[in-house]
Amino acid sequence: MRFIAKTLFGLENVLADELTSIGAVNVRPVNRAVTFDGEENFLYKANYAVRTAIAILWQIGEFNIKTSEDLYRAGLAIRWEDFFTPSQTFSVVPVVNSPIFRHTGYAGLVLKDAIADRFRNSLGRRPSVSTSDPDIVINLHVDRGRVNVSLDSSGIPLFKRGYRKESTVAPLNEVLAAGILKLSGWNPDFSLLDPMCGSGTIPIEACLMALKIPPGSFRQSYGFQRWTNYDRGKFEAVKNECNALTTESKIQIIASDISAEATTKAITNVKYAGLSDYISVETVDFRDRKSSSGEGFIIMNPPYGQRIKETDLTGLYNMIGSTLKHRFPGYTALIITSEKEALKHVGLKPSGKFILYNGALECLLVRYLLYKGSLRR
């Protein structure tokens, strides 16, 4: 079976490594996605266990077209009755880059008509289209004359883990947080501090990784559970297999923020995730913090001017750099921000940079190695 895992720009290789580590084959990173092969139960495993995927698609059709009629005929030939029934609702999500169609929506309408006619011809009645809460989501991708048709097996996007009960302004996407942690090089042998934690996403994702708790543990449902070929027994076996890998770990993770409102929300989320024994949440101004060990990691998502009104971004980033330099020698620090000009005022030499997207904002993830004494020495 051929699958496509969607992700955020910049995390393609991270996701490819994740999929390979759990048994995917023929893994190939593409733009904002990774293609791979696997058996039916691997579809369940990818949804339940992978941390940096937004959605897992099952490719059920791939063909070439020259006209819109070609799309209709190819869509009509797919055995849609193998996947859902006329009593269920469906929607088509089209992504089109082709001169064959005047606009993206038209290609989606052509495939909808083909699906409806297939059901009418074979079963005598057709399913209804729903744009609000469809039972079945079908992805249509047209690139010039090449067409891919896939079923969205995830339903609700996978970054909506289910543990976040409270949110601050512009919370960090859970998939992005997991990707940052994997790019950072952090592992549970090192302490981790998020001094601008907001609702606690980075510390929670780090703790789930350290304890090997599957990110799907908190979710109530997936799109594939609405398919007629859904195998509940296989999914339960996959969950049991993944849950059995959960382990204990002597980790030190601290989530702090200058805002008491933010830390109150972080405490709620940490508690709901069942991680209160592993994550300490504190209300502290970063400039007042000191290192608690000789080495560790600091990962932070400071305010962006586009997202949160910050009167003095220059002063904020200058304070971040000064605090890192004087109070955390021996640490590795990472900052994600869209404020590229303000980032210059950190005043430290980066050891690595990654381009990522937080929503529509292009961001830099910058790594700093905080040496004791001068870099030269």
How far is Cα 123 from Cα 274, in angstroms, rounded to an integer? 48
- Ranking 6-10, 253-257, 328-332, 373-377 by mean pLDDT, the lowest is 373-377
pLDDT surpassing 70 at residue 148:
yes
Q: Which amino acid is at 140?
A: L
pLDDT surpassing 60 at residue 165:
yes
pLDDT by residue (tens digit) across 3-20? 999 999 999 999 999 999
pLDDT by residue (tens digit) across 331-346? 999 999 999 989 999 9
How far is Cα 310 from Cα 296, in angstroms, rounded to an integer? 28
pLDDT by residue (tens digit) across 114-131? 999 999 999 999 999 998
pLDDT value at residue 311:
58
With bands split at pLDDT 50, 70 and 90, how would you rate the model's confidence at 168? confident
pLDDT surpassing 80 at residue 308:
no
pLDDT surpassing 80 at residue 292:
no
How far is Cα 174 from Cα 14, in angstroms, rounded to an integer? 14
Read off the pLDDT of each residue in 210-215 and give the average, rounded to a whole number.
97
How far is Cα 361 from Cα 359, in angstroms, rounded to an integer? 6
pLDDT value at residue 312:
81
CA proximity to 95, closest of 215, 6, 190: 6
CA proximity to 150, closest of 20, 258, 6: 6
How far is Cα 74 from Cα 243, in angstroms, rounded to an integer? 41
Residue 335's beta-bridge partner residues? 300, 366
End-to-end CA distance of the chain: 55
Read off the pLDDT of each residue in 49-74 and give the average, rounded to a whole number.
98
Please provide the CATH number assigned to the domain covering 174-213+249-369. 3.40.50.150
3-class SS of residue 338: coil
DSSP structural state of residue 171: P
Read off the pLDDT of each residue in 180-191 and give the average, rounded to a whole number.
96
pLDDT surpassing 90 at residue 306:
no
Distance of CA 143 to the CA centre of its chain: 24
How far is Cα 50 from Cα 56, in angstroms, rounded to an integer? 10
Read off the pLDDT of each residue in 221-243 and give the average, rounded to a whole number.
97
Helix (H) or strand (E) holding 14: helix 12-21
Q: What sections of 200-359 are H helices per DSSP?
A: 201-211, 232-243, 260-272, 313-327, 340-343
* Residue 148: count of CB within 10 angstroms of its CB: 19
How far is Cα 147 from Cα 124, in angstroms, rounded to an integer? 28
pLDDT by residue (tens digit) across 35-47? 999 988 999 999 9
Read off the pLDDT of each residue in 276-300 and give the average, rounded to a whole number.
93
With bands split at pLDDT 50, 70 and 90, how would you rate the model's confidence at 303? confident
How far is Cα 32 from Cα 18, in angstroms, rounded to an integer? 15
CA proximity to 198, closest of 269, 297, 290: 269
- Ranking 109-113, 222-226, 338-342 by mean pLDDT, the lowest is 338-342
Average pLDDT over all residues of the chain:
94
Please check whether the two domains, 2-152 and 174-213+249-369, share a CATH topology.
no
Per cent of the chain over pLDDT 70 is 97
How far is Cα 294 from Cα 277, in angstroms, rounded to an integer? 23
Domain residue limits, the chain = 2-152, 174-213+249-369
pLDDT value at residue 373:
62
* Domain 2-152, second-level architecture: 2-Layer Sandwich (3.30)
Distance of CA 119 to the CA centre of its chain: 35
pLDDT surpassing 80 at residue 305:
no
pLDDT surpassing 90 at residue 178:
yes
3-class SS of residue 312: coil
Rounded CA Rg of the chain: 23
What is the 3-state composition of the chain as percent helix, strand, coil, each rounded to the nearest 5?
Answer: 35, 25, 40
* Residue 209: count of CB within 10 angstroms of its CB: 19
pLDDT value at residue 56:
98
Q: Classify residue 355 by burial, with Cβ atoms within 10 Å: 0-12, 13-18, 19+.
A: exposed
With bands split at pLDDT 50, 70 and 90, how would you rate the model's confidence at 377? very low
User: Any idea which residue has 């430290």 for tokens?
Assistant: 348
Sequence length of the chain is 377
pTM above 0.85, yes or no: yes
pLDDT by residue (tens digit) across 73-91? 999 999 999 999 999 999 9
pLDDT value at residue 313:
87
